[in-house]
Each structure stands twice: as structure tokens, then as C-alpha cells.
Structure 1
Amino acid sequence: MTQESRPGTLLVIGSGLKVYREYLIAPIRRRALAAGLETVLVNNLKPTWQREYFDEIAVANVFDTEALNAAAREVAARRRIVGLMCWDEPLVLDAGLLAAEFGVPGLSVPGVRGCRDKQRTRAELTAAGLHQPGFALTTTVAEAKAAAARIGYPVVLKPRAMGASIGVVFAADEAELETAFRIALSASEVDPGPYRASAIVEGYAPGPEISVDGAVHKGEYLPMFVARKHSSDEPYFEEVGHVVDAADPLMQDRELMDTLARAHRALGIEDGITHSEIRLTDRGPLVIEINGRLGGDLIPFLGRTATGIEPGAVLFDVATGQRPDTRPTRRAVAGIRFGYPERDCLLKKVTVPAEAPGLVAAAPMAEPGTVLRLPPGGYLARHSFVVCEAADTRTCSERLDAAAALVELDTEPIGPPRADAPFAMPAGLLDVDD
């Protein structure tokens, strides 16, 4: 059988956690079967639940570029790759470059670099005339202090390439800057890619923060849904919840949607799904970042629950070169609330509610024996989540409050981390399903 006569293959890089990504993979598999395509996963762990959805699973260290590339190229040598998908932030760059190498739809080389590298994002959007804060890439405290003095306080410091607000710190003045820089730099050093060991200093933009998940087909930006973000207090920006309203008026805000379309064009994004984070400032929408993947924190699940749009099906379409249908089929509100401990602790047991008004889903997010540390000693110290839906945002918020109050937690207090303790990735952030 020649390469051209073989069935087409959809290649997926990294599955993610079952609780976070199975709802995406199931419709992708259905669409692939209907189209006569086979599905292959390159994953970092031996398969468990993933076996149901893939014809073949190759195990490789996907967080090592050489190992990932070798595994993907070995599959491509045997199969006819017609599409490539990835939704895990640390893998987006390598996956985007592989899509370009294999000649299948993707973000494009400039597009994936513009999404993954926050410094490049700022530079490209500023050059395109979009409203952006002052910014500078720094590798030392002295550089950070000089940049902040030039930009003007308050400032935000963040790793050059990380996700989930890890290592993002607010500094009101020079007295707070040195500590903020060291936190951001420590988080950046975990990144195995080319953007590690550097921190961006940028002007703080006050205003509500939202995210927009959208598809891109041959450069055309197609918004799907808006999520209103709820974050912890400064100096950290941990995400504690999100709400998606199918009738959110921001979906009809022409200035916002024009800004997003211009930003995607400026970065050279061609095909894929993006998760954009925006501040609504008094000068108009300010793009904080554009991620070359679906949103995390189950935001696409909220979007599906509220709007009826199936993110997995949309991702399948753009990955195989088709223009997706992003019209909503439902009109509801869905929200998620994450459970955090009040202080650093050792988790002994967590129990989530099986029933509550409007409850759609609830699950633990950490195993017994997990150490949960709040910033700056740790990030994403989440022990559980609850998802609720309702007909309006007020009712949805009330239901989230009630469901979150039903979570039962048993913990032990622990002491502070050592001052010289290295940054550790949050428990549960990477796939540990086995």
C-alpha cells in the first residue's frame, strides 16, 4: 500500500487529563470515524482511558523536543498525516512546528511563535498599532528595575512563556519589584523550551479580565464564546473561576471583535483554535495574550454547556482544513468554581457533592497526600471544582456558591517552604492519570 492510498491519520500531541480533556477527545474521535480517518496519540505516559479513542498510541517524553519530534516523524513515515492537534500549552510550539513540517493546517510558524512567546506577542501587536502596555524582556533584577522605571509603576512581571497565570506578579513600586522578579524568573526556569530563564516587565492595565475562545480558518477569526474571569487579589492573579453566558453582549461588541481579528492577523495565525485573554480598559480592549490552543480550566466545557458549540468538533474542522460552524445552539449560562485551601496544607481527603441545584460536574483535583501551597510558595493549589448552569448569571453564581459550600475538606497544616526551594509545577497540572 502506498502512502497516498493509506487511510488519513489525525495526529494528537498529548492527551491531557481525563477530567479536563475527555469531553474534547470523544467528539473528535466520532468525527474522525465518520470521515474515515484514524487517530494516533503521542503521549508522555502509558495509555489508560485514552485507548478507547485512538487507533495507536506512541509513548514518548513529549516535553523533550527531540524525543517528541522523533516519535511524531516515525508515525508520519508510516502514515498519511492529514491533521495535527495539540491543546497542552508546553507542547504548542513543537506541535505547531510539526504541523508546518508535515504540511497540514496549523497556526503557521510565525503564528505559533507569536502565541507561545509573550515578548514576541507584545512586539507584534505594538507594531500593528494595537493598544498595548509598555514592556521589556529582562533576565536580571537590574534590567527589571530599569525597565519598570522607564515604563512607570505599577507593573506586572511574568515568565516569558508559561500558562495559567503561574509566576505572574504585581509590583506597585520598586520596593516590591525585586521579590516579584525572582518569583517570575523562578517560574520561567521550569519551561524546557527556548524561552526559559527570562521575565517580562509590563505596565499594569486595570480593568475586568475576560477570555475569548475562537477558531481561525485560513486567517479568518471566528469567535465562539466569552468567559468572564474571576481572579484572586493582587499581587497574584490566580484564576478561581470563570462564567460563560451564551448571550454575553461582548460577543456583539464590534470594537472587541475587531481588536481580536486584527491581533490574530498581526501574529500570522492561519488555522486552529486560540484562547485570547483581554483586559477591558478605559482605552478599549487590551490583548494580554493569545494562546495557540483551546482554553484551560474547563472553559471550553463551559462554552459547550452554555452555547451548544462543540469545541472538539470545531477543532477537528480547523485541523482538517474545513471552515467550522460556530453558531450557538443553546442559550444558557455555565460557570466553574475552583476550591483552594485557606493556607498551605497537606490534603488528607476531599469530597465533592453528587447533587446540587444546577450542578453539571464536580471532581477532586488532587489526591490525598498532595501538598497544596498558595503563592508564592506554589500555584494552582486547587483541591476540587464544581460546574453549574442556569438561565442567568446571577442564578449561576448563587448555584456555584451553594455547590462549592458542599465540598468537604480534610487537611493538615504544614510549614512554609524552604527559602531556597526550587519552583515546582503544581500538582495535577500535567497528565498523571496512570
Structure 2
Amino acid sequence: MNPVEGTVLVVGSGTQEYQAYLLRSGALRADLWLLDAAAPTWQSPHLTGATQMDPGDVNALISAARSVAERRKVRGVLCYDEALILPAAQAAEALGLPGPSVTAVRNCRDKHRTRALLRDASLPQPKFALVADLAEAAAAAEWIGYPVVVEPRVPGVLSALGASRGAALVRSAADLADLFADARSAPCPSAPTHRVGILVEEYVEGPGISVDGAVHDGAYAPMFVARKEAGLSPYFEETGHVVDARDPLLDDPTLRWVLARTHRALRITDAVTHTELRLTPRGFVVIAVNGGLGGDLVPYLGGLATGIDPGLVALDVALRTPPDLTPAHARTAGIRFLYPPGHCRVDRVTVPAPDEASGLLRASALADPGAALCLPPHDRLQRYAYVLCTGDTPAECAGRLDEAEAQVRLHGRPLELIPGGRKAS
């Protein structure tokens, strides 16, 4: 492992629970300087220095980056926060540093731009229409045919977990008004709400997968495939992921062709990406491309399953260095998120201790005592815990996840909502 001569700027650090492993990996090879809104705490052991500022303010970010560059040899910009990849790219471009281009990042962040570019390249994706109001949405849904999906043009980031809100399955015209309003109210960073618009898309049936990969000098290569578990319909809540290093999809020539052509169409030449697809009767269909590593600890699962270190891959790509995508081993890793059966006020959450013999590597409570948990449509991402296990095969990993989940306990009491969906005190 060759150390990097110079400093790498890190734009946003995310949360310790979900992103500490990426920062830790990057620090193995480079001096990291954090640009973030809060002063470092858990991040400090992995940093050479830090500047406290709003990383979402592009002008402030560029000014802070230049200030560091005046004192240190800055080699690149690293960002693994989906909401900040655009300002990070703008800062890198302003300083003449390598990394994903601003155009490529916008092509990923703006779902309508993604759809238009994939359409022009004749790549498999859902039919779609960009609409401004409910009347246009109704007309688009009739043209596409129910069921349809409504979602913001720009992903609405709900929290540091990197999850989006606003996407929903509309099964009939009777459901459209409420779900359209929900999509329109979702926060959309980097775009004024009144100019964002809403996408109405064809709903395609089939299992969901995601592929985390790396693009170096225009050449795309997958790292690992995650099989998705979803629930809480009509919302697309991802309730779990399983990564099998031996997944045959990794060597599927059609999938590799679709992924390579998709990244070429989006003009991505140097980046780590997270591509979401569905396996449908008509083949692979591209749902979205995120211009950074996936959330929900999917890259961490990939590292456990394959031995490929996603943090080091992201660092290499940020420096325009050929990344090492050589697997070190082959096993399965999975995560499962737990949700309350109904709206509740949390007293406490108890989780089992990690146990390598049973394959349980991590079990974490995500809800603090006193927290109010509400299910969609009143709130989103109301997870109270997760369990993360490994196994030799997907079946063994699934069994271990079942056993670990059975040991988690949510202690709480029902929570009533007053009219308007607000939480009662």
C-alpha cells in the first residue's frame, strides 16, 4: 500500500455509525483534511486537520479548500456524502484537482438528466415524464399506464444515512394526489423546490439489485452486487441488502454491457458509483445512478464479502490512480434493518452482542430512549435497529440474520398522531 504524498480534502464526514469505515480506510494511505459543518469528534484520529464551515455552500467550500491548498500540497478531493458530491466536484474543478466532473455529477444528481441521456443512448430504463403539477402528472400516468412511480427530480436526502424520500408507487388514479403531494414536499438539495419538478415513471416489476463500481479514465468495473430487500409499500424502503462475492451477476456480460454504456452515456470518467437496477422479464432496467458509493453500509458489506476496500478504491479514484479491485476472499455479508410495527415512543432498544461464531458482526440500536418513531407517510427511515452478519453462502447469511433479528427487542408504547399527522406529546 503506497502512501499518498500530500493532502486529500474530505468534504463532509457523514456519521460514525455509517461512514467511519470509509474515513478510517482513507487515513491508511493519505493525510486527510476534513471540511465539514461541525468540529471533528470521532473523526479526529483519522485526520491531519479540519476546517469548520458549511460544505453545502459552494463558495465557502472553494474558499476553504483554497486556504488549505495555500499551506499544504492538496492532491485531491474525497466525498462519500451523496448530498455533497456536487459541491465537492465544483471545489475540485475550481482548484484544478482530479475527480468526477461537475457535468457527470449533475447527470447523476438530476434524475431527469439521467433519464434523458439514457434515452438518447437507447439504454433500458422505465418510460418517464417530467411534470410540474398534479394535472400534468395525471396525464403522464395515463400515457405511461398505472402503476407508476412518482419521485422528485433531484433526490431528497432525509438524513446523514443518505436515504431519499419522496418516491412512491401509485397503483391507480385514486392514489395519485396524496402521493404526488408527498413527492413534491420532499427536500431537494441543490435545486429550488419550485424549479425541481416531479418525475412520473413506469413501474417495472422484478427484484432490485445495486452495483457499486469504479470508473477510472473512462473504464468502468464493478466491485460487488447487492441484492435488495424492500418493504413499506407504497414507499420504496430498503429493509436489507445481501452481498455475495460469488454472485453470478458480476460476470454477466449483458449486465456489464449495460453498466459500461450507462456510465459512458452519463459522461462519467473518474468516479465511484452506485447503480440501481431491476431484474425484469425484459432484462436489466436502470433505475438510478448515484455518483458515489452506496449508503446503508452496502460498501462495507462488499468489503466483508470480497476483501475489496471501498474506502481505498474511492481514494484512488479521487486521485485518478488505478484502483485495486482484486478480491481477497469470497463469502456473503448481509444487513437487515428493523422497523416498528406501528407508530411508537421508544423506551429502549436492546441488541445482542457481536458473536463471530454465529456470524453476527454488528448489532446497533438506531433509536434513542424517548424517540418518536412514525411509519410512512408520516415520516421516513424510522428504523430502530439493524443486524449485520456474514456467512459462507447467502442461505447461511440469511439464517444468521433471522437469528440475530429475533434477539433484538424494541421496548416502547404506542404513539398517537393528532390530525394533520403531527406527533402527540
Calculate the TM-score normalised by the size of structure 2: 0.93
Provide closer, same or farther for how the CA distance between residues 68 and 347 of structure 1 changes in structure 2, counting only shifts above 3 A: farther
Aligned to 2:90: 97
Aligned to 2:193: 196
Q: CA separation in 1, counterparts of 2:189 and 2:306?
A: 36
- Alignment pair present for 1:324 and 2:323: yes
Q: Secondary structure at the match of 2:119?
A: helix
Q: CA separation in 1, counterparts of 2:53 and 2:368?
A: 25
Q: Check conservation: 1:114, 1:121, Cα contact below 8 A.
A: yes
Matched residue count: 409
Q: CA separation in 1, counterparts of 2:65 and 2:204?
A: 41
- 1:137 deviates by 1.7
Letter in 2 for 1:73: R
Q: How does 1:390-401 map to 2 (within 5 A)?
A: 390-401=391-402
Aligned to 1:161: 154
Aligned to 1:372: 373
Residue among 6, 9, 19 paired with 2:7: 9
Provide closer, same or farther for how the CA distance between residues 369 and 66 of structure 1 changes in structure 2, counting only shifts above 3 A: farther
- 1:80 deviates by 2.9
Q: CA separation in 1, counterparts of 2:139 and 2:58?
A: 34
Q: Check conservation: 2:26, 2:32, Cα contact below 8 A.
A: no
Q: Secondary structure at the match of 1:49?
A: coil
Provide, for residues 129-184 of structure 1, a one-character-per-residue CA deviation record: whole Å limited to 9, x for no partner. 10122212223111211211222211001112225242110001211111110111
Q: How does 1:251-262 map to 2 (within 5 A)?
A: 251-262=250-261
Provide, for residues 17-74 of structure 1, a one-character-per-residue CA deviation record: whole Å limited to 9, x for no partner. 1121111111211111xxxxx3210112121111111111111122334433433333
Q: How does 1:310-389 map to 2 (within 5 A)?
A: 310-356=309-355, 357-389=358-390
Q: CA separation in 2, counterparts of 1:202 and 1:244?
A: 28
Q: Secondary structure at the match of 2:205?
A: coil
Q: Check conservation: 1:216, 1:269, Cα contact below 8 A.
A: yes
Q: CA separation in 2, counterparts of 1:206 and 1:102?
A: 44
Aligned to 1:211: 210
Provide, for residues 207-266 of structure 1, a one-character-per-residue CA deviation record: whole Å limited to 9, x for no partner. 110000001101110100000000005311101000000000000111011100000000
Letter in 2 for 1:412: R
Identity over aligned pairs, percent = 48
Q: CA separation in 1, counterparts of 2:343 and 2:191?
A: 32
Q: CA separation in 2, counterparts of 1:41 and 1:131?
A: 39
Q: Check conservation: 2:86, 2:105, Cα contact below 8 A.
A: yes
Q: Secondary structure at the match of 1:143?
A: helix
Aligned to 2:288: 289
Aligned to 2:185: 186
Q: Check conservation: 2:277, 2:285, Cα contact below 8 A.
A: yes
Q: CA separation in 1, counterparts of 2:86 and 2:362?
A: 31
Letter in 2 for 1:248: D
Letter in 2 for 1:399: R
Q: CA separation in 2, counterparts of 1:70 and 1:144?
A: 42
Q: Check conservation: 1:44, 1:62, Cα contact below 8 A.
A: yes
Q: CA separation in 1, counterparts of 2:211 and 2:325?
A: 13
Residue among 18, 26, 29 paired with 1:28: 26
- Flag structure 2 segments of 5+ consecutive residues without an equivalent: 158-162
- 1:421 deviates by 5.9
Q: Secondary structure at the match of 1:241?
A: strand
Provide closer, same or farther for how the CA distance between residues 413 and 233 of structure 1 changes in structure 2, counting only shifts above 3 A: closer
